[in-house]
Structure 1
Amino acid sequence: MPHRTAKQTESDRLNQRAGLASVAVATTLVLAKLWALAATGALSVGASLVDSGLDLMVSLAGLAAITYAARPPDEDHAHGHTSAEDLAALAQSTFILGSGAAILWAATRRMLSPDHTELTSETAGVAVMVLSIVLTLALVAYQRRVASKTGNKVVSADSLHYIGDLVPNMGAIASLLAARQLGLTLIDSLVAIGAALFMMFGAFKIGKTAIDALMDRQAPDTEIEGISAIAGTYPGVLGFHDLKTRMAGSRTFVTLHIELDGDQSLYDAHEISAGLRSKILEAYPHTDVMIHKDVWFPPKD
């Protein structure tokens, strides 16, 4: 097992702290919104609660991914453990779709019902939503600072996810204020429907990405073209073929055959291969690169 530098160890520590902060914030908001839902009966608050529940699941999965990111492959998992991220994402997307459908059904029934449900304790609900926004902004600021130091993509993705959560929180505030000031309880159902559709659309994208990875879908075309450009212009590489890629979790596995001058020494061939691998990893840090060396002999006169 290779020795980890002090910088790598410190980066791991920062990433784990960011993951723990994300879990702590999500847990706090789930508990606060559970109370707010019971106090107000607002479906928009319920939609925001489901979103925070999703946040907690994503944060826990992200923390697990960060914790295990540095683990090397073992005898049973020669390519590492990154596919667990895809399995977790698929489970999360299924949960979101089910929750979104339930909220959509409840909101539609309430909106079409002749007996409109009166909301209560709107002030308490608004206070909880404001707390949610403040904590979310603080967490995003911390995550971005950590990501800028460590370059961790899990932390960066979690930060982007929390930024998207601001929309349903603000929608819940708008519906509660409209119910209190104008008596427009119908807005609560409309906001809940919008939030449910937003969550279901996001769940579909997450699920599709996870399924693509589990089915060994190749990397995006732009990434393949970039790797091809590096291999095709690297000094000492006379040609390349059989470039294959597959995605697993946050990692892309790359296999590449390069053609080298058969008259050069084994040491020189190894140096060219190692240099090309380092160049690809520099451009695409999330990759795992395996290069096969093929011998090419120039035609003799």
Structure 2
Amino acid sequence: MPDAHRLNLSAGLASVTVALTLVAIKLWALGATQSLSVAASLADSALDLMMSLGGLAAILYAARPPDDDHAFGHSAAEDLAALGQAFFILASAGVIGMAALTRLTATDPVVLTAEGRGMLAMGLSCVITLALVLWQRRVAARTGNRVIRADSLHYLGDLLPNLGAILALWASAAFGLARLDAAIALAAAAMLAVGAVGIGREAWDALMDRAAPSEVIARIETLTRAQPGVLGFHDLKTRRSGAQLFVNLHIELDGRQSLHEAHAIGAALKHAILAEYPGTDIIIHFDPACLT
């Protein structure tokens, strides 16, 4: 699927570029404001950069064609990367949550400076991050890539701490408040944790060769029953690896027909499945039906 690979690669490169840009912007904002919320956001962006580089490496590796040692391709690298990202996101959520609790219970609030410049920098970070998330979600919807979905989730989670930093800077400038972003940070940490568990579970299921979702299996069964010439089927097996779907199926045909006719029926069924699930790796076995 060269088109899917190009989309995945574009999302990976965009993620690395945005992470580098955000680190530079937040370094400047931290120097100007001495804001702890900006410092936390900077640390999160530095983590994003490491994760984005790892995700890009996984996308490049997973796109390699099958070889003698990897007959089914290298797409499992995407699941490994997504599982690693899920652990990193959970750790990040824990750090954000602990920092927020510390700020809520601190006796002396943090004194902030140059709030206007800080808000401008964090607002620009929000715009850049939102643009990246929208592109990543569009790519993930078309390719099903878990690495990009995990990366998109992390950047989406970044928006709340960024907005929290903006609110904190504004509240500090307008009312002298310095703890406003703590509650938002706790909410962001909870959202990150829930999303990370979902991404991690999907990646783990793929690594353990869990079957495709029940609705996918049901649709393949429906397509098989509707295919002219197919008298029955059995041993339908499915699994996922990265964004790749694998299908193994035995179909029952009239044993009196020619091999050419049997092959045509199998090819038609394969094209019908591919039309619904592009890029699927399909193996169809032919068995003679028991005719009376």
TM-aligned CA distance change 1:215 to 1:13, over 3 Å:
closer
TM-aligned CA distance change 1:181 to 1:280, over 3 Å:
same
Q: 1:207 aligns with which of 174, 196, 200?
A: 200
Q: Which range moves more in the overlay, 282-291 or 35-44?
A: 35-44
Q: 1:101 aligns with which of 94, 102, 121?
A: 94
Aligned equivalent of 1:237: 230
Distance 1:15 1:101 in 2: 29
Calculate the TM-score normalised by the size of structure 1: 0.83
* 1:251 aligned partner, one-letter code: Q
Q: Which range moves more in the overlay, 165-174 or 49-58?
A: 49-58
Q: Which range moves more in the overlay, 159-168 or 256-265?
A: 159-168
Is residue 2:241 matched to residue 1:248? yes
Count residues in correspondence.
290
Q: Deviations over 1:188-213 (max 9, x none)?
A: 22222222222222222221111111
Is residue 2:277 matched to residue 1:284? yes
Q: 1:20 aligns with which of 13, 22, 28?
A: 13
Identify unmatched segments of 5+ residues in structure 1. Answer: 1-7
Distance 2:10 2:234 in 1: 43
Q: Which range moves more in the overlay, 93-102 or 220-229?
A: 93-102
* 2:198 aligned partner, one-letter code: K
Alignment root-mean-square deviation, CA: 3.0
Deviation at 1:177, TM superposition (A): 1.0
Q: Which range moves more in the overlay, 100-109 or 63-72?
A: 63-72
1:53-202 counterparts in 2 under 5 A? 53=46, 55-57=48-50, 59-68=52-61, 70-139=63-132, 147=139, 151-154=142-145, 157=149, 161=153, 162=155, 165-202=158-195
Deviation at 1:46, TM superposition (A): 4.3
Helix, strand or coil at the partner of 2:74: coil
Helix, strand or coil at the partner of 1:292: strand
Calculate the TM-score normalised by the size of structure 2: 0.85
Helix, strand or coil at the partner of 1:246: strand
Distance 2:158 2:279 in 1: 27
TM-aligned CA distance change 1:61 to 1:36, over 3 Å:
same
Deviation at 1:279, TM superposition (A): 1.0
Q: 2:217 aligns with which of 205, 209, 224?
A: 224
Helix, strand or coil at the partner of 2:256: coil
Distance 1:153 1:57 in 2: 22
Deviation at 1:239, TM superposition (A): 0.7
Distance 1:11 1:69 in 2: 12
Q: Deviations over 1:222-278 (max 9, x none)?
A: 111111110111111111111111111111211111111100000111111111111
Is residue 2:35 matched to residue 1:33? no
Aligned equivalent of 1:3: none
Helix, strand or coil at the partner of 1:244: strand
* 1:102 aligned partner, one-letter code: V
Helix, strand or coil at the partner of 2:245: strand
Helix, strand or coil at the partner of 2:246: strand
TM-aligned CA distance change 1:9 to 1:288, over 3 Å:
closer
Deviation at 1:116, TM superposition (A): 1.9
Confirm or deny: 8 A CA contact 2:111 2:178 kept in the other structure: yes
Identify unmatched segments of 5+ residues in structure 2. Answer: none
Distance 1:177 1:210 in 2: 40
Distance 2:50 2:224 in 1: 40
